[in-house]
């Protein structure tokens, strides 16, 4: 692992292999929870299922205890953007639920998030989720050797804010990931092309668009964690951990298991 003065670390191929394992566990943890996402289920139950799966696979929940956060999953419902706390809240038809999961295995973290549709949701909310997911992959397309960091940021902002008129959250960003859950550099979802650090081979980034249907402004709840939209309109969040490579980024996490599980859950609606 090579490092710089800015807490930026470049992973070897061996380290990337270990991170792939961590991220596949994250991806499978998502898929393990999916069958239980339905109206009437308390979000704390989803947290318990994820923690049991992670520990059964000889790994540790990456978020639990991090900065004092007491749960395995960040579960953010409707207007909650990120860092929502699992609770006795019972999911309802028409809810959207963002689940962010982290895993620590073999001394390396995995990190990925997905926003789910509980039953039939409002068409404008479904469109928000589709555009946010599209923006994630447009950002990933820029995570290649020779580009600059804000090429990723610009791609996300261009698609979500300038093309579709959504609010791009400024206060929360993606990040480097490796032996630490949050490493450098920060990865904003807004920026200008050609700015920021030059992307080099082996840099692992958690790219995570956080996009609001209405205003980009957010507030923090009294629990000290949950971030909500200032206008109480829905927010979407999708995240992959990727390795910067020549020509094409290497995506370490996957939505394959998650989306297969969604298709098997009649209580959920798939998105494009």
Quote the CA–CA distance of 26 and 108 in Å, as a whole number: 12
- Beta bridge pairs of residue 265: none
Q: Work out whether the CA dihedral 73, 119, 229, 132 comes out positive or negative.
A: positive
pLDDT of residue 6: 74
Q: Is the pTM of this model over 0.95?
A: yes
Per-residue pLDDT tens over the stretch 169-178: 999 999 999 9
pLDDT value for 4? 61
Check the CA dihedral 132-133-134-140 and report its sign. positive
For residue 138, what is the enclosing H or E element? helix 123-141
What is the structure's pLDDT at 1? 65
Closest CA to 104 of 179, 29, 214: 179
SS3 182: coil
Q: pLDDT digits over 4-57, tens only?
A: 657 899 999 999 999 999 999 999 999 999 999 999 999 999 999 999 999 999
- Please compute Rg for the chain using Cα positions: 17
The pLDDT, as a whole number, for residue 211 is 98
Find the Cα–Cα–Cα–Cα dihedral 263, 265, 267, 270, rounded to 10°: -20
Q: Which domains, and CATH codes, for the chain?
A: 2-269 (3.90.230.10)
**Which residue from 162, 174, 189, 197 is spatially nearest to 113, judged by alpha carbons?**
174
Q: Which residues of the chain have pLDDT under 50?
A: none
């Amino acid at each position: 692992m090579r490092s710089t003065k800015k807490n930026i670390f470049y992973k070897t191929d061996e380290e990337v292999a270990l991170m792939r394992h961590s991220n596949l566990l994250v991806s499978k943890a998502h898929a393990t929870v999916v069958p239980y996402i339905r109206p009437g289920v308390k979000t704390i139950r989803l947290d318990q299922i994820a923690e049991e799966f992670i520990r059964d696979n000889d790994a540790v929940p990456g978020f639990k205890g991090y900065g004092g956060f007491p749960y395995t999953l960040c579960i953010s419902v409707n207007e909650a953007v990120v860092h929502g706390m699992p609770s006795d809240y019972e999911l309802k038809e028409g809810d959207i639920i963002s689940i962010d999961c982290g895993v620590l295995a073999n001394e390396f973290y995995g990190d990925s998030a997905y926003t789910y549709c509980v039953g039939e949701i409002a068409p404008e909310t479904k469109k928000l989720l589709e555009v946010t997911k599209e923006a994630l992959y447009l950002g990933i397309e820029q995570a290649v050797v020779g580009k600059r960091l804000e090429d990723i940021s610009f791609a996300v902002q261009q698609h979500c804010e300038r093309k579709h008129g959504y609010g791009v959250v400024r206060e929360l960003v993606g990040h480097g990931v490796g032996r630490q859950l949050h490493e450098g550099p920060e990865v904003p979802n807004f920026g200008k092309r050609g700015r920021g650090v030059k992307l080099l081979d082996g840099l692992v980034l958690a790219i995570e668009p956080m996009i609001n249907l209405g205003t980009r402004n957010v507030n923090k709840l009294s629990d000290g964690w949950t971030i909500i939209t200032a206008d109480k309109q829905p927010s979407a969040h999708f995240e992959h951990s990727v390795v910067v490579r020549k020509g094409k980024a290497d995506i370490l996490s996957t939505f394959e298991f998650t989306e297969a599980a969604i298709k098997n859950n009649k209580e959920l609606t798939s998105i494009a």
